[in-house]
Structure 1
Amino acid sequence: MFTISHAQSKMFADLSADWNPMHVDPEAARRVQFGDTVVHGIHALLAALNAMCSNISQPAWRIVALKANFVGPIFQGSSLNIEIKRAQENEYRIALLANGKTVQQIQFSIESTETGAAILQKVEYSQALPDHLSITDALSFNYSAMAPWNVNQARALMPALSAAVPDYQIAALLATTHVVGMKCPGIDSVFTGLQVKFLTPTTSPTLSFSACTTSTDERFNSVALLIKSDSFEARIDGLFREKPVAQPAYEVVKRQVERTAFHTVKALVVGGSRGLGELAVKLLAAGGAQVDFTFARGDKDARRILSELQADGARAACFGFDVTDVSTEQFARLACDYSHIFYFPSPQIGRNDGPFDLKKFHRFSQCYVDGMVNLLNHAARVRQKGSALRVVLPSSVFVTEGKKGFAEYIAAKAAAESCLLQICAKQSNWHAVISRLPAMATDQTAGAASADDVETLAHMTDFVRSAVEG
């Protein structure tokens, strides 16, 4: 068993010159498809090969051909295991499992070689952001460069593999992730698979290569690439993932409500740095409310929103607050003297078409139920007895209508509704406001959303008005 940490992913990003934010920037990654930073597919592949080196008797060998399918994302810190099958004498199949689920399928053949292969010169790139290509742009993609290489970093990340395999073969695989993650598709890339054929080695293979698009398919947002050099030929499959959903700017939101519509409101918006929580913050501020909002990981997003609001004279503040953290320190600074508490935090929402997953349910419940209960129990302790409070819980139409693949999410949302009703029933002058909202355009639900950004803003305007006014 082994793991790949965030620190190792950052080291691999430097080695491969693939600094796509989905691998190295937790705050940016939370807004994209997987909701958190994930391991580079090629990093995981090389780590799997490194882990299985003890199963190969030859001290030095070269890869003849390799095929890999990247079945699912690998979150940093996941428990990784490999299952090895020897198809023929020099042919192997590896299944890479993350937390017990297959995430990569790798097939490769090898042949013995001599030690002491040619030493490659260091090739390093300055850190940069990936290119922003559309699938239309990809049709004309052409790129020539040198494969990134740093022997010391390679030895540190994959010591057994780099001792056995010629450096140019590792560098060739590094070139594939550099192209996909930084060039095409670039910022919105998902690497789904590759086939590599290593050519008869020259006495001194070079690191120069060329890359181009061979086909695209707009129905599936897919792209096929070809990378060629004097030592290898790689065919790559990739996808353009959904772009992160940006909520409307404050200038747009202000048009939805009168300047004094909520001027008597003092609101706490928990989870207000993105998505529907971000919209609620902007709507409340636009209507004259005094708004405090929290973030768990989205410090940059929160500061950006706060800057927008304060530039317009809105009464707003933000602070870090993690609903899964039960430490007394973060509650100590929370006075809870609010007229309204809006509760928006959420872990990553994703489909599960398999059996009911208790771990997934517990992760949802920790946020939707435990976090809310801990917050409201604290509020009950520190607030003036009998003071009025409206607790606003945005729930989901999935609770009543159902949605295939979201059983754990639905169960946790239903539990949160029930808990809120029971808590408010125990407190004098507390009122629960529960709204089962449709799937709307956010970075969490963009793929399943039934509403576009205009409809989302209209829905949220009605939601906030109803929550405030009753």
Structure 2
Amino acid sequence: MKKDRALALGAEALSITAVIGKKTFGGMDQAAFASFSQDRNPLHMDPVKARRFLSGAQVVHGVNLLLTALDMLVAGDCRLTEINRVACEFKVAVNLGEEVTYVLEELSADRIVIHGYLTSVVCTKITLFFGEPRTIDATSPVGRQTIEVGGLAEPLNLSEQECSQFSANLTWNDRTADQVCSIYPALSAAYGVNFCQAFATLSYIVGMVCPGLNSMFLSLDVKIAECWRSTRQLSFHVSKFEDRIKLIDMQVDDGPLFGVIKAFRRPEPVRQPGLDELTAFVGESEFRAMDSFVIGGSRGLGELTGKIIATGGGKVTLGYAIGKDDAERVRDEINKRFSGVCDIRRIDINQIGDAAAMLATKDAVFYFPTPVISKKINTIFSQDVFQKFLEFYVYAFSALCYRLEALATKRIRVFYPSTVFVEDRPNGMTEYAMAKAAAELMIADMNRVLNHVKIHVVRLPRLKSDQTNSIFQVKTEHNIDYLLSAVRGTAAL
């Protein structure tokens, strides 16, 4: 009987491990899903803010990955009329511009399993279970606030305490029907717009409501109710909050879908120490003779380096690539305390151009650019990842130093942050450590032959920054101690 049901779904036309489709998710795809779902979390929609989150770049909405797979499946003549439960795990973040390959991995009398792959890594696991839609005894929860999908201009920023006790009713209308049909033509034609909207509302819950701003969708496991074609409301409440890893279980308990969605409350972007804290460590005039430029000074370790120099009486220009708002924030914080000592300037390390002449007038240059590089393949070594690290940490740095040498009329001190990972490599850091090791060898030779440019290299431990931020507690060293020592060592050259 179950075998007959599977065959009735049309799934016999798909062989096991068959590729059912491929898609590269671009900016237009992202904007279309955000407009339809109203999930406009900056993790998905703001390239500047997203660079400060765990992913380091914009991430494709998880529910978009799911609905895209279902649309491809239906377009391949696989009818899902007897699917009564959908489970989906979002295992690896998919960044804009990455191609996902959807593969049918299992077809049995009970289920269909689809994997979404980034190269060889499973980024999404989808399981569809056969059965009739369920009749649920709707409780129509009372006392919960009602939030209209699209009614929030910005995502809520719930505290951990607020997350642990949150509940709400979500309502939507069919004003986005044309968009749904455009994005998922086969799925919406076969099962209606409301089917897609119900799942998109799960994305809205996580990205805009709870946890909201600082969210990461982990998984969903929901059953389909008999009312899935017509009901435009979902109710949910937080059923469990695991404080140690900030994992939130939310029970969807009324509407066309019912089950559990899981999300992390991800850590907020790292705040570097302020000027008040630095005055306890930095002498008020110890860097008075320094006029410095910090490449990558809008955030993280570069931001803190700029603050240290200013606290010590020096002048500093903060270089940024795309984070102008962050650079202005740091500049204003510094100048409010030390009037007029800090400026900002956009700089592209791969196209130094006219900026080289300005850099050559500085006493010191600190090198903290941050590439957006994510390794998502199951191999010890990736040539592509290694090449990208080399471009930032070796080629661009070498070109900068030789350009400064050609223009300099005085000694220019340059700080290069290497890493203890050269000797003690965590898993997945092989390419990064190799690039830093190559830079160290190159710098040793450059220090022997360059006359005006002198480079100070320090192997820094894991320090607290956006790049080392983690849902799980990871030991980091004290940022001020190591960076203050680095600035002092550079000044002493």
Q: 1:364 corresponds to which residue?
A: 389
| Structure 2: distance between partners of 1:209 and 1:335 | 57
Partner-residue secondary structure (3-state), 2:23: coil
Q: With structure 2 as the length reference, what TM-score do the two structures score?
A: 0.85
Partner-residue secondary structure (3-state), 1:211: strand
CA separation of 1:63 and 1:151: change in aligned 2, threshold 3 A: farther
Contact 2:149–2:201 at 8 Å: present in 1 too? no
Partner-residue secondary structure (3-state), 2:227: coil
Structural mapping, 1:1-16, within 5 Å: 1-16=22-37
Structural mapping, 1:246-265, within 5 Å: 246-265=271-290
Deviations 1:162-181, CA, capped at 9 Å, x for gaps: 22222221111011111111
CA separation of 1:333 and 1:179: change in aligned 2, threshold 3 A: farther
Residue type matched to 1:176 in 2? L
Q: 2:325 corresponds to which residue?
A: 300
Q: 1:33 corresponds to which residue?
A: 54
Structural mapping, 1:63-462, within 5 Å: 63-85=83-105, 87-88=107-108, 91-109=111-129, 125-147=150-172, 149=174, 150-201=176-227, 205-311=230-336, 312-323=338-349, 325-326=350-351, 329=353, 331=355, 334-348=358-372, 354-384=379-409, 387-447=410-470, 450-451=475-476, 455-462=478-485
| Structure 1: distance between partners of 2:381 and 2:32 | 36
| Structure 2: distance between partners of 1:46 and 1:57 | 14
Deviation at 1:298, TM superposition (A): 1.2
CA separation of 1:458 and 1:349: change in aligned 2, threshold 3 A: farther
Contact 1:142–1:212 at 8 Å: present in 2 too? yes
Contact 1:176–1:227 at 8 Å: present in 2 too? no
Deviation at 1:365, TM superposition (A): 1.4
Deviation at 1:112, TM superposition (A): 11
1:22 to 36, 43, 61: 43
| Structure 2: distance between partners of 1:401 and 1:98 | 28
Deviation at 1:142, TM superposition (A): 0.8
| Structure 2: distance between partners of 1:378 and 1:449 | 39
Deviations 1:82-132, CA, capped at 9 Å, x for gaps: 11246147942211112342100111146899xxxxxxxxx7514522222
Q: 2:72 corresponds to which residue?
A: 51
Deviation at 1:13, TM superposition (A): 1.9
Q: 2:15 corresponds to which residue?
A: none
| Structure 1: distance between partners of 2:167 and 2:225 | 22
Contact 1:125–1:148 at 8 Å: present in 2 too? no
Segments of structure 1 that go 5 or more residues without pairing to the other structure are: 114-122
| Structure 1: distance between partners of 2:93 and 2:154 | 21
| Structure 2: distance between partners of 1:357 and 1:109 | 37
CA separation of 1:255 and 1:17: change in aligned 2, threshold 3 A: same
| Structure 2: distance between partners of 1:321 and 1:465 | 25
| Structure 2: distance between partners of 1:111 and 1:152 | 30
Segments of structure 2 that go 5 or more residues without pairing to the other structure are: 1-21, 134-147
Identity of aligned pairs, percent? Answer: 27
Contact 1:349–1:445 at 8 Å: present in 2 too? no
| Structure 1: distance between partners of 2:285 and 2:211 | 46
Q: 2:138 corresponds to which residue?
A: none
| Structure 2: distance between partners of 1:310 and 1:62 | 65
Partner-residue secondary structure (3-state), 2:305: helix
Deviation at 1:329, TM superposition (A): 4.6
| Structure 1: distance between partners of 2:454 and 2:356 | 24
| Structure 1: distance between partners of 2:82 and 2:152 | 30
Deviation at 1:53, TM superposition (A): 2.4
Q: 1:120 corresponds to which residue?
A: none
Deviation at 1:468, TM superposition (A): 1.0
Deviations 1:267-315, CA, capped at 9 Å, x for gaps: 1211111111111111112222221221112111011111222333142
Contact 1:346–1:364 at 8 Å: present in 2 too? no
Contact 1:349–1:409 at 8 Å: present in 2 too? no
Residue type matched to 2:371 in 1? P
CA separation of 1:253 and 1:97: change in aligned 2, threshold 3 A: same
Contact 1:15–1:148 at 8 Å: present in 2 too? no
Deviations 1:70-90, CA, capped at 9 Å, x for gaps: 111000110111112461479
Deviations 1:442-461, CA, capped at 9 Å, x for gaps: 11113475336xx2123222
CA separation of 1:466 and 1:449: change in aligned 2, threshold 3 A: farther
Deviations 1:55-79, CA, capped at 9 Å, x for gaps: 2255x84742211111110001101
Deviations 1:192-217, CA, capped at 9 Å, x for gaps: 11112111237x62211211012222
Partner-residue secondary structure (3-state), 1:43: helix
Contact 2:37–2:203 at 8 Å: present in 1 too? yes
| Structure 1: distance between partners of 2:281 and 2:56 | 30
Deviation at 1:157, TM superposition (A): 1.9
**Number of corresponding residues:** 453
Deviation at 1:42, TM superposition (A): 0.3
CA separation of 1:128 and 1:95: change in aligned 2, threshold 3 A: same
Residue type matched to 1:27 in 2? V
Partner-residue secondary structure (3-state), 1:195: strand
| Structure 2: distance between partners of 1:148 and 1:250 | 50
